[in-house]
Amino acid sequence: MNKPRGYFFPLRPGSRKSGRLRLSSKLRSIQLIIMLTFMAVTAAVAVIVSVMLYGKFANTAEENANLNMQQIIEQVNYNLELYVKGMGSIFATAEKQITSTPSIDSPLLYERMDTLMSSREDLVSVAVFTPQGQYVVGTPGQTMRMNTGLESQSWFTTAKHTSEISYSAPHIQNLFKGRYTWVVSISKLIQYRENGELRTGVLLLDFNFRTIDELSKQVKLGKRGYAYILDPLGNIVYHPQQQLIYAGLKYENVEPVLEYAYRSYLDESTGEKRFITVRTLAQTGWKIVGVAYYDEIVTTKRDLNQFLAWFLGVVLVCVIAVSVFLSWLIASPIRKLERTVKQVAEGDLNTPINVSGAYEVEQLSRRFNMMLQRIRQLMEQIIYEQETKRKGELEVLQSQINPHFLYNTLNSVIRLAERGKTDEVVTMIQSLSRFFRISLSKGKNIITIQEELDHIRHYLVIQSFRFRNKFRYEITAQEEVLECQTIKLILQPIVENALYHGIEMMPDEGLISITAGLQDGLIIIRVSDNGLGMSKETVNGILSGSVKSTSGSGVGVRNVHERIGLYYGREYGLAFQSELEEGTVVTIVFPARPAGEAMDEQKEETNL
C-alpha cells in the first residue's frame, strides 16, 4: 500500500523506507535549493567579475611594464649612441691630427697622441699600421709583441676593404706588451704623410668596456632582468654574465634578436617567459637587448592575484553564510507550517496555526487556519444534523407508545362499561383524556414538571383500573420543582416498566412512589417500586439496549435516557438501583430550568 502511493505522489513526505529516497527529498528541500542556487549564482558572479578585473588589470600592468622597459632600453640606446658618437669624434680627432701632420714621426704628433690617451680612461691604445701590417706610429711607450697575427684580425681586414669607420666585435688586444685586455676596436683606412710622402695606413683605436659596462650596468629590469649588447654578427659586446656565456655555462638565444632592428616580443626558449626588447644603434649596428622576466613584470599581477584569491575566499564565505541564513529564513516557516499541517492531518483539528515569517507564508497559514475553522464548523453541523435526525426518530418512537396504551385502556373502559360502573368509566375517560392532552401538549416537547406529574398521575389512575387492587401509588413533589421544565413523557415508560415487570407478577399489593426534588440546581425524580427487582446484568443491560423485553417497553426506558442526554447533555439521564425481591429505584437527573425559558429551542436555532 505504501509503495504505490509513494510512486503516485512523489512529493508526499510519506515513504520513509529507503534511504535514497529520503536523501533525495533532503536534496529537494527549499532551504538547500535556495542555498545552492544563491551560492552558485553569487560565486559565479564573483568569479567572473574577478577574472575580468584580473584580465583588465593584468593587461594594463603588463603593458605598463612593457612600456617602462622599452623606455629604459631606449634610454640606454640613447646613452650608448652618445658614447659611440663620442668614440667616433675621438677617432675623427685622431685622424685629423695624423693626416694634418706633415710627417708621421714628428714629436708634436707624439705629444698630441699622449694627451689624447690620457684624456680618456677607456682608451687603450692608438696606432697606425701600413696596409701590410707594419707598425708605423702609436701611443708613446708601447712596444709590439711578436706573432700578433694582426693581418688576419677583423678590424684590420674590414678597414682595408671599406673606407668607412668600422667597429669590431670585442676581442683580445694582443698587439702591445702589457696586459691582455678585452677591447672594441675602431679602425679606418687613412692618409698620412711620412717625410712629405702621402701614404695610406690603418688607424686603430682600442676602447675597453668601462663606459659600456657602466652604461649597461645601470639597467635594472626588475630583480633579475638585464640588458645586453650584440654586434651585428651576433657576438656579445656586453652581457652582465658575459664570462658565463663565454664559458658556455649560459646561453642567450640571439637568433630571433638578430632578425629585427626594432622589436619587442615574448621569448620562451629558456623555458621561462621573458620579455625581450630590441633596439639598434645606428652607427655600429649594435643591438641593445633588454630582457625582463615575465613573472617579475607581472608582480603586480601576482599581487592582484593574491588579493583576488583572498577576496574570492572572503566573498565565498560571506555568500555561504548569507545563503544559509537566507534559506533558513525562508524555509523555516514553511517547515513549521508543514509540521503543523502534519499534526492536523493526523487528526488534531484544534491545532492552532500561527506561523510568522514571509508574507506569503503568513497568508498561507492564515488561510489554512480559516479552512480549518470551516472544517470544524462543518463537522459540528454534521454532528448536529445527525443528532436531530435521531431526535426525530425518537419522537416517532414516542408516538408509537400511544396506540398500544390506548388499546389496553379502551379495553378496560369497555369492561367497566359492561359491568355498568358508570362513575368509574367517567373517571377513566377523564383521566385518559387528560393523559392525552398532556401527551400532545400542542406539539410542545417541553412541559412543566407539574404537567408531567399530572400526566403520570392520570396514567396511574388509568392503570389502577386495569390492575385492580394490585398496587398503590404516591406522588410527592417539592413546590419549587413544579414550575421547572422537563421534556415530556419521561416518567411514563419508567412507571410502565415498574408496573409490568415489577408489580404485575407480584402476589402482594405493590407500591409505586414518585418523588421530585431539587438538589444543587438539579432536578431529581425518583420512581421506586417494591416489585420483583432486577438482576445486576439486567440493570446494566437496560441502558445499553442489550436487554429486550418481549413487550418492547425496554426500548422506552432507553429512549428516555437518550432524550435526556440529547437535551441536557450526556452526563444526565437515568440511574437504576435494583435488588431482587426488594424492588427498583429509578433516578432521573437533569438540570433545573424554570418554565418559559425555551433554551433548547434557542440553542438549536443558533446552532443552525
Partner 1 sequence: MKSVRVWLTVLLCGVLWISVSSCFNASPAYISTSKTRNIHLIVKMNKGDYWNTLKLGAEAAAKEFNVNLTFKAPDSESDIEEQVVMVEDSIQEKADVIILAASSYMGLAQVVDQAAYSRIPVISVDAEVGSAKVRTYVGSNGYEAGQKSAERLIQLLQGYGEIGIINFTNSSLTPDSGKTGSIDYGARDADEREKGFLNYAARFPNVKVVQIAYTSSSTSDAENLTREMLNKYPQLRGIATLNEIASQGAARVIQGLDRDSVKMIAFDSSPSMMESLQDDTVQATVIQNPFSNGYLAVKYAVEALEGMDIPERVDTGTKLIDLENMLWPENQKLLFPFVR
Q: What single DSSP character describes residue 176? A: B
State the nearest-atom distance from the C-beta of 3 to partner 1, in Å: 24
Contacting partner 1 (CB under 8 A), which of 77, 153, 185, 365?
Answer: 153
Identify any residues that bridge with 129 across adjacent strands, giving them in sequence order: 135, 202
Binding footprint of partner 1, residue count (CB under 8 A): 40
Q: Select the span of 119-127, 177-185, 186-194, 577-585 touching partner 1 (CB under 8 A).
A: 177-185
Among 28, 56, 145, 548, binds partner 1 (CB under 8 A): 145
Q: Decide: is 234 part of the binding site for partner 1 (CB under 8 A).
A: no
d(C-alpha 596, C-alpha 485), whole Å: 8
Residues contacting residue 141 through CB under 8 Å, at least 6 positions apart: none
Euclidean distance between CA atoms 577 and 199, whole angstroms: 169
Provide DSSP, 344-359. HHTT-TT------SSH
d(CA 253, CA 219): 20
Strands in 150-309 per DSSP E: 166-167, 171-173, 181-194, 197-207, 226-230, 236-238, 263-267, 274-280, 287-293
Q: Closest approach of Cβ 252 to partner 1, in Å? A: 13
Nearest alpha carbon to residue 194 among 101, 267, 292: 101
By CB under 8 A, name the one of 1, 11, 198, 247 that touches partner 1.
247
| 169 makes contact with partner 1 (CB under 8 A) | yes
286-325 residues in contact with partner 1 (CB under 8 A) are 295, 302, 305-306, 308-309, 312-313, 316-317, 320
| Residue type for position 169 | A
Q: How far is the CB of 86 from partner 1 (least distance, A)?
A: 20
Q: Which of 74, 81, 194, 213 binds partner 1 (CB under 8 A)?
A: 213
Does 244 participate in binding partner 1 (rule CB under 8 A)?
A: yes
Q: How far is the CB of 51 from partner 1 (least distance, A)?
A: 11
What mask, x for binding partner 1 by CB under 8 A, covers residues 13 to 52? -------------x--------------------------
* Residue 176 Cβ vs partner 1, minimum distance, rounded to whole Å: 11
Q: What type of residue is 232?
A: P
CB of 367 to partner 1, least distance (A): 31
User: Cell numbers 520513509 correspond to what residue?
Assistant: 16
Q: Which helix (H) or strand (E) holds 476?
A: strand 471-477
Does 171 bind partner 1 (CB under 8 A)? Our answer is yes
11 binds partner 1 (CB under 8 A): no
Task: Tell me the C-alpha distance between 362 and 294, whole Å.
Answer: 61
Under a CB-based contact definition with an 8 Å cutoff, are residues 280 and 81 in contact? no
| Counts for the chain of helices (H) and strands (E), in that order | 18, 18
Mark 253-272 with x for binding to partner 1 (rule: CB under 8 A) and - for no binding.
Answer: ------------------xx
**Site residues for partner 1, window 92-111 (CB under 8 A)?**
none
Nearest residue to 228 (alpha-carbon basis) of 219, 239, 220: 239
Where on the chain is the footprint of partner 1 (CB under 8 A)?
26, 145-149, 153, 169, 171-172, 174, 177, 179-180, 182, 209-210, 213, 235, 241-244, 246-249, 271-272, 295, 302, 305-306, 308-309, 312-313, 316-317, 320
